[in-house]
Amino acid sequence: MQLFYNPEHCTLCPRGCGAVRGNTIGKGFCQMPDQPMVARAALHQWEEPPISGTKGAGTVFFSGCALRCVYCQNDRISQQNFGKVISKSHLREIFNKLIQAGAHNIDLVNPSHFSHVIGEVLEAPLSVPVIWNSSGYDRVSTLQALAGKIQIYLPDFKYPDSHAALRFSEAEDYPSVAKNALIEMVRQTGPYVLDENGLLKRGVMIRHLLLPGRLQQAKEVMDWIAQTFEPKSVLFSLMGQYVPCGRAEALPALNRVLRKSELKAAIQYMSALGLEGYIQEDTSAVKEYVPAFDLTGVKEETVQREKII
Q: What is the pLDDT of residues 247-283, one digit of tens each?
A: 999 999 999 999 999 999 999 999 999 999 999 876 6
The phi-psi region of residue 56 (left if phi > 0; otherwise alpha if psi is between -120 and 50; otherwise beta) is: left
Whole-Å CA distances, 257 to 11, 96, 163, 207, 300: 36, 38, 21, 18, 40
CB burial of 150-181 (b: ≥16 within 10 Å; e: otherwise) equals bbbbbbbbbbbbeebbeebbebbebbebbbbb
Report the share of the chain in percent with pLDDT over 70.
Answer: 94
- Alpha-carbon gap, residue 164 to 278, rounded angstroms: 25
Name the average pLDDT for the chain.
93
Report domain extents, the chain: 37-308
pLDDT in tens, 101-156: 999 999 999 999 999 999 999 999 999 999 999 999 999 999 999 999 999 999 99
* CATH assignment, 37-308: 3.20.20.70
Phi, psi of 184 (to 5 degrees): -65, -40
Q: Look at 305 and 160; give whichever has higher pLDDT.
A: 160
**What pLDDT does residue 64 have?**
96
Contact 263, 240 (CB under 8 A): yes
